[in-house]
Amino acid sequence: MGYRVQPATASDSASLARIEKRAFNDPNNAADELGRLLATDPLTASIDDEEKARLAVQRFRAFFDDADFVVVKVVQVPDHPAQSEGEGEGERAEAEAEAEAVAFSVWIRPVLGGIKTRPCPRSDEQAKKDEDEDDEETKRRKKDALWARFSAAIDRKREEVMGTRPHWFLKLLCVDPAHQRRGVGTMLLDWGLQRAMDNADEVPGPFSVYLESSPAGEGAYVKAGFKVMGHDRIDEPRAQRGYLQWPYMIRSPPAPVCQRGLHRGANRAQPQQQQQA
């Protein structure tokens, strides 16, 4: 079996929500303190599993309502379906379209003149109804929940670091634990890095790519060319050190070939000038 990157659609929302839940509740990933504490936040413990699932699906559907958000998925496909199954191209494409996702990533496109952090406007009427019906205690718990504080910290740091510079933002990348360490996450990352190198119709590229990673994922992003710019943090009494900390990272586009050549030429010329002097 192999893997293939495909565009996700709103019909994938429930599948993506399940992947996210499994990724954040992976008992084998003991090094991911952030993910473990997010999954066990006592301020959201009163919400039953069915309601949590509904809210997660609602959140994913909102991504598809906003053209500045791009969601892609990875599906598992037979290595050579045409030879092994005798299918034609049409049947193979249909089978891949129906295959369930095993990983996904959520990206925000470059936006001129500002930073977009979440889908806007919110078109889900149920979300507005839920917000209106919450009592004051529920609103406070939602605001103080670890996920809300974590998301707010990411938004603040990204605005501080990137300002109004257009860039691609990797908002979320999750791989089902059963498919981890098979290069699936790299496929999703490469998809976004390639888009960052392309020219967009509205905003000419190439672009930098910004992300904030879990501490456990830092090494993989450094290997992919990202540079750690610093570390963000929030206080959390349940954390081992009393706070949670994670890196924020940028991958800048390579300099144009002509600039790189001029730079190398200048370096070579300098010793000659010194010798002549």
Looking at the predicted structure, is the pLDDT value of residue 270 above 70? no
Place of tokens 């509904």: 54
Looking at residue 95, its pLDDT comes to 65
DSSP structure string for 43-54: GGTTS-HHHHHH
Nearest 5°: CA angle at 172, between 151 and 210? 80
Dihedral sign of CA atoms 96, 84, 76, 250 in order:
negative
* 234-244 pLDDT per residue, tens: 999 999 999 99
Report the alpha-carbon distance of residue 98 to residue 91 in Å, rounded.
Answer: 11
Looking at the predicted structure, is the pLDDT value of residue 188 above 50? yes
End-to-end CA distance of the chain: 65
Of 61, 94, 90, the residue nearest 75 (C-alpha): 94
pTM for this predicted structure: 0.81
Rg, the chain, Cα only: 22
- 2-212 falls under which CATH superfamily? Gcn5-related N-acetyltransferase (GNAT) (3.40.630.30)
Of 215, 213, 249, 211, the residue nearest 230 (C-alpha): 249
Looking at residue 259, its pLDDT comes to 46
* 86-141 pLDDT per residue, tens: 556 666 666 666 788 999 999 999 987 777 777 764 545 555 555 566 667 666 67
Place of tokens 């800048």: 252
Give how far the C-alpha of residue 169 lies from the chain's centroid of Cα atoms, to the nearest Å.
Answer: 7
Tokens of 109: 């496109």
Of 146, 93, 151, the residue nearest 119 (C-alpha): 151
Mean residue pLDDT of the chain comes to 82
What are the structural domain ranges in the chain?
A: 2-212
Give me the numbers of helices (H) and strands (E) for the chain, helices first please: 11, 7
Of the given ranges (172-181, 194-203, 239-248), which has the lowest mean pLDDT?
Answer: 194-203
Most confident of 23-27, 35-39, 146-150: 146-150
Give how far the C-alpha of residue 198 lies from the chain's centroid of Cα atoms, to the nearest Å.
Answer: 19
Nearest 5°: CA angle at 21, between 46 and 160? 90
Burial 15-35 (b: 16+ CB within 10 A, else e): bbbbbbbebbebeebeebbbb
